[in-house]
Amino acid sequence: MDIADFTFYVIDQNLQRRNALARLLSKYARAVPLDNVSEVGSVSAGKPCFLVYDEERQLQACLSEKNVQEALAAVLAYSEKPELERVFEILDQGAGGYFDYDGGEADPTQSIMRLLRRNAKFEGMRRRRQAAVQRLQALSQREQEVLRAVSEGQSNKAIARHLSVSPRTIEVHRRNMIAKLDVPCSISAVRLALEAEL
């Protein structure tokens, strides 16, 4: 993994800090300074990485931005003096890492690359999850309920009782679910549901 392969989108409303970080990174790779996430537009870089100053609105907007999600881009947060509790909160929200940077001359490149290497380990898992979520969208609401119950280990009779339908109806839902997901059996459908965190 080489830093030159990345395009860094530096999102920070503080002009001086944003430009200082972009200048440091431009020694090694392409760096695009942005005032806010709405300036992103489409993400065409091969390996995009979003470096977002830890402001609640900007970070949330970046993590929920469709272009960022579709590109499976790494989103790293930064601030001057991150508090441990805040770092865990940001990671729980979906950021790939957190580093400290105050806008000075200290070069955070090694920290960023360490976070990106760690993040790359989880990239395959994120891709599988995204593919599973897309496949599960083919299911009706009722089929998703049945799949969720099957994933919990419930029998057809128990699912039927819970949903107030006959066990035969559950069998039909399961058969349709397997056909729509193009999987050989219920176990494969359950595996897909687990990957999608249904």
For the stretch 49-67, pLDDT in tens is 999 999 878 888 888 877 6
pLDDT tier for residue 42 given thresholds of 50, 70 and 90: low
- Do 52 and 149 belong to one domain? no
- Do 114 and 152 belong to one domain? no
Q: Where are the beta strands (DSSP E) in the chain?
A: 6-11, 30-34, 47-53, 74-79, 97-100
pLDDT of residue 189: 94
Tell me the average pLDDT across 135-148: 94
- Do 41 and 115 belong to one domain? yes
> Could you give the CA distance from residue 96 to residue 2 in angstroms, rounded to a whole number?
18
How much of the chain, in percent, has pLDDT values that exceed 90? 60
Report which of 134, 139, 142, 145 is spatially closest to residue 195, judged by C-alpha positions: 134
- Do 23 and 98 belong to one domain? yes
Q: Which domain holds residue 148?
A: 131-196
pLDDT tier for residue 20 given thresholds of 50, 70 and 90: very high
194 half-sphere exposure, CB direction, 13 A CA radius: 10
**DSSP tally for the chain: helices H, then strands E:** 10, 5
Average pLDDT, the chain: 89
> Could you give the CA distance from residue 156 to residue 146 in angstroms, rounded to a whole number?
9
- Do 93 and 152 belong to one domain? no
Domain final residue pick, 75, 97, 121 = 121
Structural domain contains residue 126:
no
- Do 147 and 108 belong to one domain? no
